Structure 1
Amino acid sequence: MVDASRDEAQLAVRLYNDPSEIRSFEGFVVHMHLAWLYLLHAELTRDGVDFRYWRTQGRTRRLERIDGEPKRWDLATCVRHRWPDTMQPARANLEFFIALRNKIEHRYAREQQALTAAVGGQSQALLLNYEEELTGQLGPGSSLASRLRFPVFVGSFTDDGERTLRRLRSQLPAPLRTFIAEYDAGLDDSVARDPRYDFRLRVLQELAPKDPDALAVQFTRYDDLTEEQRQVVEAIGRKGYVVVRERKRPVVGHGLQKPTQAARKIQDRIPFSFNTALFTIAWKKLGVRPLVGDPHPERTDEKYCLYDERHNDYGYTQAYIDKLVRGCASEAASGRCWGRLPETR
């Protein structure tokens, strides 16, 4: 079971990283589904858990069978057994892909590139969670690290590549954008921001003498950083930095969006009409910044908005855009937020 699971995971990654495969993302989702199913079945077998389906007829208890074979738990049932806590990020990530698989298999097989761009963070988390479960349950010798390499790619390493990926995300059909936004909106903020649900990296090119013992790509966990290092990382995520050799230089306003830009990005990700008027209602209702004329314009919620004293205006963060997208994911949520039903595009 474990060998079959590892084979499925490797096939999933091979498909994901192969640009010649037209349905590579669908293949990744399907084969990671099987990899997780076989792994959790292996754990249940090891632990002596009966994971067959039974049905009761009167006083008789009978096995459910398919083509003569006992019917065993599907992945969703295994996930609920493995993580009874609904607030567990790994469970939320797996349940997201179970639901997404049902959609892309039946309706959205042609949206491969756009989906890859839209849920790349969740896809990376799905694989890393698998590796953690594999090694945590079966020991470090079972790791896939020696078999899976960091791919050579362009992606968001170039400006043109980043623009292409952003354009692809905006081309997702409205029902798929709604599904993704509604799923995120239903999660607790602590789960939605957890890397076990959605794994994201900010890559900084290292311009230092080559260390023969160092790897080309090395990952440092946030929990392993010192308090000073965490502050630097959080500042990079909030404002952005240009890193030049050993010195860090802040780029004023990097990553911050003006209201018109932010409203346009929100519009691209939700199925309802959204404009700067609604954007203004939002920041007033959520209190992310002071009202016009306030004697202390700098007193903002820094996670979502920063005041620019030089230009006497405000910039809004990606976290705030994501928050509004989650809040506008469904008709009911939008109605509660704005006090009226949204206009469908």
Structure 2
Amino acid sequence: MVKRNSAGALTDEERPVVKALLKKGWRNQDIQHLLNKGRVATINSARITEVKADASITAAPKDDVDFFIRKKDAYDPVTGLNLYDDERLIRAREAMMLAVQSFNSPTLRFKAEQFAVQSNIAWTYLLHEHYSRKGVDIVGKDGRSLLLSQMIKRHDFPLSKGVSNNIAAVIKIRDAVEHKLFRRSDEKFFSLFQASCLNFDEAICELFGDRLSLKSELSFALQFAKLRFAHMTELQKHDVPEHIEALDAELEKGLSEEEKADLSYKFRVVYLLESATKSKSHFDFVRPDSAEGKEIHNILEKRVIADEHYPYKPGQAAKLIADRSGKRFSSHNHMQAWKRYKVRPKSKAKQPEQTNKDYCIFHKAHGDYTYSAAWVDFVVEKISDADEFEALKATK
């Protein structure tokens, strides 16, 4: 945030103020408390005593003292930001908070428009502060400050290529909303906006410290009410004007496949539906670049359901189980087994395809079920226990 003082030292600005406060009758501990507001390295009372004993120090004028006190009282105890020294960072954080709040608000209709504008402001303030502290003149001879589109193209841009690509995409959306109606296109850009939020929080922490994180002040939540994937797919097809579809294509123009897949450019999650009762069903959100996400991706890519994986009809499965186990195991026992271990729905179920895919699949073309070798192994192991086999035979 502001330029900090070295440990135990008073600045040339502070010494005259301390002299003035001493003359006004302030106690050493009260002056020390005032001076240490917003400091990383605090001073001790001895420094104040030194000012008191140094006759060469002249007391600061009243206006200077009043402003010094006002400035010290302008520190945010949570972030450590000062209203006078860190105005750009305060504005940057507030602009991003407004962007998220407006997008999440149920009463606002122009969500994409609001987010695109406010987030551009947030990123502009953030990068202006970064370059200003690096000694870069952010105001040109024409009196105009560096544009966000210029800063993300600089060779010394401090963040990743994925972040700059994401910002560039949101800039294009911001430019488009000035001239065209977006109608109901908010969902179209959600993944870009989510990435922008996460990128901003990571960037402000990386460049200016973890105390500035927005995580404790904003909650990014995805809410689902009776979510149906088919319905969500249909939503993507309707209410999106042609010029928005064209803009969506323009955003990724020139990006490589690797850049498009960068999570800093566009946020993605893997939706993992866990098998559970309706009252306990839920979604797990997994980052695609995590170990679990990669495993799920491999399963989605490589585990292809095919008839050859489920070669056995019920009678064939029952015979194999009998041969392998050495026990009498009829087709009726096989029916009891799939009921007991819940590997398929009952006959005439509304969703016959809802099976345990490790053991069984439903063939829509001819309306029956076939079973895998894993199912045979599973049942053979189960009925090797005499008590379990008796329990199975009692299943209705």
Scaled to the shorter chain, the TM-score interval is 0.5 to 0.7
Q: CA deviation at 1:230?
A: 5.2
For the residue of structure 1 that corresponds to 2:153, the secondary structure is helix
Counterparts of 2:214 and 2:158, CA distance in 1: 27
Whether contact under 8 Å (1:26, 1:101) holds in the other structure is yes
Equivalent residue for 2:228, pick from 146, 156, 159: 159
Equivalent residue for 2:196, pick from 110, 113, 126: 126
Counterparts of 2:156 and 2:239, CA distance in 1: 35
Q: CA deviation at 1:20?
A: 1.4
Q: CA deviation at 1:106?
A: 1.2
Equivalent residue for 2:112, pick from 25, 35, 54: 25
Equivalent residue for 1:44, pick from 116, 123, 131: 131
Counterparts of 1:164 and 1:207, CA distance in 2: 20
Other-structure match for 2:250: 182
Letter in 2 for 1:163: H
Counterparts of 2:287 and 2:177, CA distance in 1: 32
Is 1:194 aligned to 2:259, yes or no? no
Note closer, same or farther for the CA distance 1:32–1:82 as it changes in structure 2 (3 Å cut).
farther
Counterparts of 2:204 and 2:133, CA distance in 1: 13
Q: CA deviation at 1:163?
A: 1.5
Counterparts of 2:256 and 2:160, CA distance in 1: 8
Q: CA deviation at 1:16?
A: 0.6
1:303-322 map, 5 Å: none
Other-structure match for 1:262: none
Percent same amino acid at aligned positions? 25
Counterparts of 1:165 and 1:25, CA distance in 2: 19
- Which has more radius of gyration? 2
Letter in 2 for 1:64: D
Q: CA deviation at 1:124?
A: 0.8
Instruction: Between 15-24 and 144-153, report the one with greater CA deviation.
Output: 144-153
- CA offsets 1:161-183 (integer angstroms, 9 cap, x no match): x6156324443222221221133
Counterparts of 1:86 and 1:141, CA distance in 2: 19
Whether contact under 8 Å (2:95, 2:122) holds in the other structure is yes
- CA offsets 1:240-270 (integer angstroms, 9 cap, x no match): xxxxxxxxxx7849xxxxxxxxxxxxxxxxx
Whether contact under 8 Å (1:5, 1:39) holds in the other structure is yes
Equivalent residue for 2:298, pick from 232, 235, 238: 235
Counterparts of 1:127 and 1:16, CA distance in 2: 11
Letter in 2 for 1:197: Y
TM-score by length of structure 2 reads 0.48
Counterparts of 1:187 and 1:224, CA distance in 2: 23
Q: Which runs of 4+ in 1 moved over 4 A?
A: 82-87, 205-208, 216-224
Letter in 2 for 1:131: D
Counterparts of 1:95 and 1:104, CA distance in 2: 15
Number of corresponding residues: 216
The gaps in structure 1 that reach 5 residues or longer are 54-62, 66-70, 209-215, 240-249, 254-309, 312-345
For the residue of structure 2 that corresponds to 1:204, the secondary structure is strand
1:233-312 map, 5 Å: 233-238=296-301, 252=305
Q: CA deviation at 1:17?
A: 0.6
Other-structure match for 1:75: 148
Equivalent residue for 2:171, pick from 98, 104, 107: 98
For the residue of structure 1 that corresponds to 2:217, the secondary structure is coil
- CA offsets 1:129-172 (integer angstroms, 9 cap, x no match): 111111111121111110111336226x6117x61563244432
Q: CA deviation at 1:237?
A: 4.8
For the residue of structure 2 that corresponds to 1:203, the secondary structure is strand
Note closer, same or farther for the CA distance 1:139–1:86 as it changes in structure 2 (3 Å cut).
closer
Q: CA deviation at 1:96?
A: 0.9
Note closer, same or farther for the CA distance 1:12–1:80 as it changes in structure 2 (3 Å cut).
same
Equivalent residue for 1:8, pick from 92, 95, 120: 95
Counterparts of 1:49 and 1:14, CA distance in 2: 32
Provide the aligned C-alpha RMSD in A.
3.3
Other-structure match for 1:293: none
Note closer, same or farther for the CA distance 1:35–1:207 as it changes in structure 2 (3 Å cut).
farther
For the residue of structure 1 that corresponds to 2:267, the secondary structure is coil
Note closer, same or farther for the CA distance 1:87–1:142 as it changes in structure 2 (3 Å cut).
closer
Q: CA deviation at 1:42?
A: 0.9
Other-structure match for 2:324: none
Letter in 1 for 2:142: E
Whether contact under 8 Å (2:138, 2:145) holds in the other structure is yes
Whether contact under 8 Å (1:122, 1:199) holds in the other structure is yes
Counterparts of 1:104 and 1:41, CA distance in 2: 24
Q: CA deviation at 1:74?
A: 1.2
The gaps in structure 2 that reach 5 residues or longer are 1-87, 277-281, 307-362, 365-396
Counterparts of 2:232 and 2:241, CA distance in 1: 17
Compare relative contact order (CA 8 Å, sep 6+) and give the higher one, 1 or 2: 1
Counterparts of 2:165 and 2:267, CA distance in 1: 13
TM-score by length of structure 1 reads 0.55
Equivalent residue for 1:140, pick from 196, 199, 210: 210
Note closer, same or farther for the CA distance 1:148–1:26 as it changes in structure 2 (3 Å cut).
same
Other-structure match for 2:15: none
For the residue of structure 2 that corresponds to 1:19, the secondary structure is coil
Whether contact under 8 Å (1:86, 1:92) holds in the other structure is no
Q: CA deviation at 1:97?
A: 1.0
Q: CA deviation at 1:203?
A: 3.2
Q: CA deviation at 1:204?
A: 3.1
Q: CA deviation at 1:28?
A: 1.0
